[in-house]
Structure 1
């Protein structure tokens, strides 16, 4: 019993790191949780008597699980089986490591980065994330992606070139904006204060017109804490929508429009929210609920 508890304690000590690795590879919180849970199940089925570094072992297991999950999505083709290592682009001629670039990657991965990562093949994505975001040596990554060390280095190099050189298309940028708004609504409905704070810009401002204040909104709020408190536990009848073509939020009650929220983004965070409930303003607004 003590041995099982010790194993569970060691796993819990590594859980946050494992989830971070899985999320950056998969770009999905729910899938990251599934990958971490599968790693726990595999740990319980494995004799780890010869494992010197449990954290490294678990990270390798999670990375392999994530690689399998990426491949199973079948959203993109993996490198052809017949492709030789010589066909992969070499490291020479690529952009050298930029310290500011590396720092930005190591610090966090925003929604915009996740959009770009979706353009990579599974093996490229795993190699890039493990090396450029978690500083894992190529010798350790190679067995995970089933390549030699040199081929793994080239995979990461190819991914790096795509990440640095891939422009965000209008469609991808709109998808990014929608993900921010949906994350905000989910955090609001769940009453997740910390998640709300992570989505709101430090300079966020909320404003409500006179009609919205009569419905219970504050006239103006400044700062993420005040805005997060205001929206915590709300958004029950809120849906992502386009407001005259711009992404925003529709709030309904029993099929009747109560108000709309015009949302302004700065990068991957919300910097402005304007609540509009004035009947005349709503009547002149073209609102389309998003599926």
Structure 2
């Protein structure tokens, strides 16, 4: 099916609002011109088009989302491929540039203009929404929970009072705390699982697909298991600096078009074996 994104983007414009000073009837005040306030234009999309690059903040070590192929060392993953598809719809021959960093530095890098957007399975939260803008979602997220094979944890209720190996200041960390867990800081899935096997943490809550991919790639079966119960999370969106309305709307149009024409589904099935695309944007 041919994408309709170009027609969607044609409707996205840059709007400037001008506040006019009030004038008394029949009088002209020459000094009033200095009181006119002009709202700064949103150049988020045009800046990217001029640079011909959209900088995505990722870790490069989070399979199957974004990681380096063991043989070629090429950066691959479903989020990497999705990013490359999205920039094709931003007029101006724009390329996706991936800036790798620790997960804890990704949102901070938006504040310092090191990156243009963050795309790392990030969900909208009330705290994040105060500082950043979010696109429509592109990935349906479900949390799985890894525990030691001989753990006495069998249900979500058993997590209360346990030690959770989680990245700090993340939605997974918040979810673990909501379930009664106490955070033991980590940066990667590998680090979390090692802490669980060493008895220094009790559980790890994270992407169900990421966990399964990690366990499947181990040369030998690890002494851990995944709980049957899962936790539904807020779908993942791309995060932008506040006020990036033009770029956000352009990315929204591209996400919806790539979802509706089946591109997202093909990418997810390639890396996961099943579809994780959003089924209904009307709820957003």
TM-score by length of 1: 0.24
Higher share of residues assigned strand: 2
Higher share of residues assigned helix: 1
TM-score by length of 2: 0.25
